[in-house]
Amino acid sequence: MTWTLPDPMLTAAAPGPDLPPRCAAEPKWDGFRALMSWDADRLVLRSRQGTDLLPAFPEVRVGAAQMPDATALDGEIVVWESGRLAFERLQQRLQRRGAGAAWFAAQLPCHFVAFDLLRLAGTDTTGWSYQRRRDALEGLFAEHRLTAPWALCPSTTDPDTVREWLSTWTAVGLEGLVFKRLDSVNQPSARGGWRKYKVRVTEDAVVGAYTGPAAAPRTLLLGRYDAQGRLRYVGRSTTLPQASGRAVASLLIPAGDEHPWTGWSFSAGWGSRESLHVTLVDPELVVEVGVDVARDRAGRWRHPARWHRSRPDLLVADVPDFESGTSA
């Protein structure tokens, strides 16, 4: 009987960054969740939603030869560039097929960072405890000396190591942590045994445009000035509460003829071909937003920034500059 990959286990939000009792912590990678099955020379590589990822990542097919038969893994596909995780490169790779995918595999190879073992030598391991699955996963990597594209996700039960990851690894694109109960089994589509903590910080930025009505903007398009005095786009806010939208509207001044974003087009989101309808404003209002550590290679915030408050008490010169993150 053919074995079928289960749906991936899901995570719930963790209340904070502290390692809970009787849990292990793993890094939360900025990549694509993926499940892999290798069985009698048949390779399956699919996304969390069930999309076939194999045509976009042919190097995984080549690397499958290292795997023992009847093996299945849960993990994250990532791409590194210039010493940090590059999600936008991963996004580009997802659209490639054939010769294009092969070219990207040579220039920007992916890694499959394995964090769970779903099947071993034909045995379904999802009913094993996390600790037992983790021991078996480490044994799999050691016994077969697995190399790229395979990578073993770190795991620790040491609170000091967890704190070190949060203080040092975020610089290369670590999104946060996943806490897993040592006794938890792998339950498809279930939440509870795994919890994620995403690193978020507050940042100041300049409002350059908004979407929605003038009386109550829906979202804000944010920027920072670079060393050459150019206003660089860094990201868009989440939807503003109505009261906040009305309040910020009174602080925005319509743009003049020399706005630095005149003629620009802004995408509605990752992978979307839809352009936003925006209204430009005089880039003088500073706002404070909450962001996570995920960046694209241009330094922009990859996820929407959560609205905190307006900062009319700050000058544009008080906002960190685009390149260095230091005050301009």
| Domain stops at, among 173, 198, 223 | 198
Q: Which residues contact 119 (CB under 8 A, 6 or more apart)?
A: 3, 37, 70, 71, 72, 125
Assess whether 61 and 102 both reside in one domain: yes
pLDDT of amino acid 328: 29
The alpha carbon dihedral of 121, 124, 128, 130 has a sign of positive
Secondary-structure percent of the chain, ordered helix, strand, coil, rounded to 5? 20, 35, 45
Judge whether 133 lies within some domain.
Answer: yes
Alpha-carbon span 47 to 93, nearest angstrom: 14
| Domain stops at, among 164, 198, 232 | 198
Residue from 16, 11, 18, 13 nearest 74 by CA: 11
Query: Dmax over Cα atoms in the chain, in whole Å?
Result: 69
Q: CATH no. for residue 94?
A: 3.30.470.30
Please give the average pLDDT of every successive group of 10 residues along the chain, which has 328 residues.
85 91 94 92 90 95 94 96 82 88 94 98 96 98 97 98 90 87 93 85 91 96 93 93 90 91 83 82 93 76 86 84 52
Residue from 292, 290, 285 nearest 311 by CA: 285
Q: Looking at the whole model, is its pTM more than 0.85? A: no
pLDDT of amino acid 270: 57
Q: CATH no. for residue 286?
A: 2.40.50.140
Number of domains into which the chain is organized: 2
Identify the domain containing residue 107 by its residue range.
21-185+194-198
| Domain stops at, among 149, 173, 198 | 198
Active-site positions read: 28
Residue from 185, 190, 184, 179 nearest 157 by CA: 179
Judge whether 87 lies within some domain.
Answer: yes
pLDDT of amino acid 246: 92
Residue 122 to residues 54, 69, 125, 290: CA-CA distances in angstroms?
Answer: 22, 8, 9, 46
Decide: 181 and 155 in contact? Cβ < 8 Å. no
